[in-house]
Amino acid sequence: MCDRARANEEDSPRTPTISFFLTTFPKRLTQSPTRTNHLLTLLRSPPLFYRGALAGTRKTTPGFRLVEKYGILVGGADPHRHDLSSMTMLKDNHIWACAARVSSAAAGSNGHGHGQAQPDGQAQAQAPATNGDPSPSSATLNAATTATKPPSATAAQTASAIHTAVSTARSAAGFSTKIEVECQTEAEADAAIEAGADVVMLDNFTPEEMKATAGRLKDRWGRGGRFLIEVSGGLREGNLEGYVCRDVDVLSSSSIHQGVGTVDFSLKVVH
C-alpha cells in the first residue's frame, strides 16, 4: 500500500487531486459518527435513559448525502429518510394549499355559486386539472406547494385540509409508503392522527409545550404503536435534554451531520 502511495516526479502534479479525495471523505466520515454517538450516549445514559430513536434529517450537505447518512448509521442513530421518495412528508405548505381550497369551496357554497366576491385577503384557489378523473392524485398537492396560509382558514377547515392532504397522499403513495404530517398545533396533530398519518411531527414546539402535547396525544389515541411522534426543529446538544420524554418516539436533529466540523487528516508524500 505504501509503495502504491509513493509519488515520483511524474506523479507529483496529480498529488493535490489525490490528496483532496483521500482526505476529504475520511474527514467527513469520521466526525459525523463521532458526534452522533456522543449525543446518543448522552440520551441513553442517566439521568435521561431515553429509549426512543435519535435520527438525522433529510437536510444533508449537497454531494455528501450518502456519506453523512452512512456516518449516522455508524454512530448508532437512525438516518431518517434518504430522499423524498422514502416517505411522504406533508409540510405546512401542503396543508395550507389544501386549506385554501377548502376555504374557497366553503365561500363558494355560501355564495350559492360562482362569481361571488371574495373577502379581502382571501385568495381564490383553483383545483388542479384531473383530466376527467375525480379521484385524488399527487398533482393535487404538487400544484400549490408554494401557497401561503389562508388568513381566513378556521380550525375546522385546517383539520379538513389535513384529512384531504393525507387521503390524497395515501392514494398516490399506496400502502407501502409511510406518511408524516408536520404539525404546528395540537389540534393539527389530532387531525393528522385521525386521518391516518403514520408519523406526527411536532415542529418547533417549546420543550414544555411538546411534553404536554405528546402526553395528551398518547392518552387520547393510545400508546400501542398506531402512530409515532417525532420532535424536530432546532434540536442540538445544548437543548436536547429538555425534549426527552417517554411519549416522544423520535428526536430528529441535523446537528449530528451538518456543521459537525472535520477531523484533521493529512496526506504526506513519501520521498
CA angle 47, 39, 202 (to 5 degrees): 85
- List CB contacts of 108: < 8 A, sequence separation 6 or more: 114, 116
Residues near 38 by Cβ (< 8 Å), separated by ≥ 6?
237
Nearest one of 212, 218, 251 to 235, comparing CA atoms: 251
For residue 78, the 8-state DSSP code is B
Smallest CA-to-CA distance from 254 within 128, 80, 115, 1 is with 80
The residue among 163, 157, 162, 165 whose CA lies nearest residue 140 is 165
H-state helical runs in the chain: 2-5, 15-44, 65-75, 92-110, 138-142, 155-173, 186-195, 207-221
Nearest-angstrom CA–CA distance, 49 and 57: 22
Residue in 239, 254, 191 with CA at minimum distance from that of residue 55: 254
Q: Which residues are catalytic?
A: 59
